Amino acid sequence: MIDYDALKKIVGSVKGTTFAGITTKTQVKLKGGKKNVMQGRVEKLTENSNIIIYANSEKSGYAEMVKRRMLEEGKDPEEFQLKPRQWGVRIDQTPFITHNDKNYFECIFVSPGKSSYFLDGEPIDKDDIEGLDAATALSEVKEDAQQGGIENKVIIRTYGLESIVSIKLKNEELRG
């Protein structure tokens, strides 16, 4: 797990937005419920995904990006209204969310890194995982369904700190 205080320090140096790399290890949800013998035993390691971090700004990086994309697609950006969070509380001017005494890191997803899968800590081919399909293999994308009707959606990802292996930002790498 990444150290929350160390991550806050690095992110505190961000003014507005910046690109970063993130490596995460997450539990994979599989079909079949408790009958699936692999349920709860499969992890996905995704290395070097590209993200955008936004901090120390009164404006939402997400909302501003949606409005820019609306303008690029010939839509009126004034039609977009940022909706309240569905869960958790954002710590003002940071990418951090608190929820049920846990801390989360929120970012704008740019592109995926290289993924590999593990069963009980041992590498396993994606095709050998029982109950894994295209829908569960992709991280769930939770985004504003409206986003002003844009085609090029802004994808938000929220990671529990325990799932972050490392973050590369401004020539620094923070490892968990």
CA angle 65, 67, 68 (to 5 degrees): 65
Query: Is residue 104 a part of any domain in this protein?
Result: yes
Domain residues for the domain of 105 are: 4-170
Which pLDDT value is given to residue 176?
A: 83
pLDDT interval class at 93 (50, 70, 90) = confident
Query: Is residue 108 a part of any domain in this protein?
Result: yes
- The domain total for the chain is 1
Is 90 exceeded by the pLDDT of residue 26?
yes
pLDDT interval class at 81 (50, 70, 90) = confident
Query: Is residue 176 a part of any domain in this protein?
Result: no
Query: Is residue 118 a part of any domain in this protein?
Result: yes
Mean pLDDT, residues 32-57: 92
Span 110-144, pLDDT tens digits? 999 999 999 999 999 999 999 987 555 544 444 44
Beta strands in the chain (DSSP E): 16-27, 42-55, 89-90, 96-99, 102-111, 114-119, 122-124, 155-160, 164-169, 172-175
Tell me which of 153 and 145 has the higher pLDDT.
153
Query: Is residue 86 a part of any domain in this protein?
Result: yes
Mean pLDDT of the chain: 87
Query: Is residue 107 a part of any domain in this protein?
Result: yes
Mean pLDDT, residues 139-157: 68
Which pLDDT value is given to residue 139?
A: 44
Query: Is residue 175 a part of any domain in this protein?
Result: no
- The secondary structure of 29-47 as a DSSP string is P-TTGGG-TTTTTEEEEEE
Is 90 exceeded by the pLDDT of residue 99?
yes
- 88 within 8 A of 98, measured Cβ to Cβ: yes
